[in-house]
Amino acid sequence: MKKKLVCGLIALLYMSISLSAQTYKETVERAFAMAEKDSLAQAEILFKEALKLGPSHAYNAIIFSRLGTIQQRLNRLDDALESYTYSLNIAPKSVQTLLDRGALYLDMGKPDQAYVDYSEVLDLDKDNMEALLFRAYISMKRRDYKAARLDYTNLLLVEPGHYNGLLGMALLNQKEKRYQEALGNYAKLIESHPGEASLYVARAELEQEMGSLELALLDMDEAIRLNPSLAENFVTRARIYLQLKKKSQARSDLERAVEAGVLRSSLQDLFKQCK
């Protein structure tokens, strides 16, 4: 009788474990389904329920990571940080979670912590383009141009035509007054993205800094042709016209900027220079 009772208890225990595992799996699947439908609040509830059902489950690193993504999208950044950190406590070498937490740190205005996470990623995957790009960006903000150049260089070795990598390198070269190299970066970008007005504006600002005003004017003409609705471009071209002593053209561009929505009062100093 006692033997039968023990066997029965063991059977009930296995059944309970099996049902618990099944419930955990079903809850996780429902949570992912809700996330796919952008029902974020419901997905969060289900993920938390799954964690209660299987507090030591090996899959929980992924659950916490997904929770962090949902909470970040819900703009609950502190909760998201806690979830990503729990995930990394379970799986400290998860490249994706480190990248996600690094991006969150940047959103929270914590670049030093983000730098640590991106460095950890690069220790695990030296060619990770996202980590290289954002670590270079942080280094630029710190004015650590040597470190930024190293990361941009490595990024462009992995993908020579990387848009943000080339743009970052162009800005870095401009800051360090390596003007010809910056022009080369912009030339590559414009060759592969000839319809991107902002690239012509950026190169025009570089040419303006170099004193190549006629070239800057040509680039601004092209930028305005590509995007005639952007008021700020007329202001930029007006400044170049003023440097070239072409006051009537400058005034005309300032008037067009006002028509496009720029407050006349904000342009008074420029209008005065047109007299």
Which residues make up the CATH 1.25.40.10 domain(s) of the chain? Answer: 60-125, 126-193, 211-275
* Burial class of residue 47 (count of CB atoms within 10 Å of its CB; 0-12, 13-18, 19+): buried
Return the CATH class of domain 126-193.
mainly alpha
DSSP codes of every residue in 144-200: -HHHHHHHHHHHHHH-TT-HHHHHHHHHHHHHTT-HHHHHHHHHHHHHH-TT-HHHH
Q: What is the pLDDT of residues 32-65, one digit of tens each?
A: 787 777 777 787 787 788 788 877 777 888 888 9
Q: What is the pLDDT of residues 83-100, one digit of tens each?
A: 999 999 999 999 999 999
Return the CATH class of domain 211-275.
mainly alpha
Q: Which two tokens stand for residue 93?
A: 């070498």
Q: What is the pLDDT of residues 211-228, one digit of tens each?
A: 999 999 999 999 999 999
Read off the pLDDT of each residue in 96-122 and give the average, rounded to a whole number.
98
Q: What is the CATH number of domain 60-125?
A: 1.25.40.10
Distance between CA atoms of residues 67 and 1, nearest Å: 49
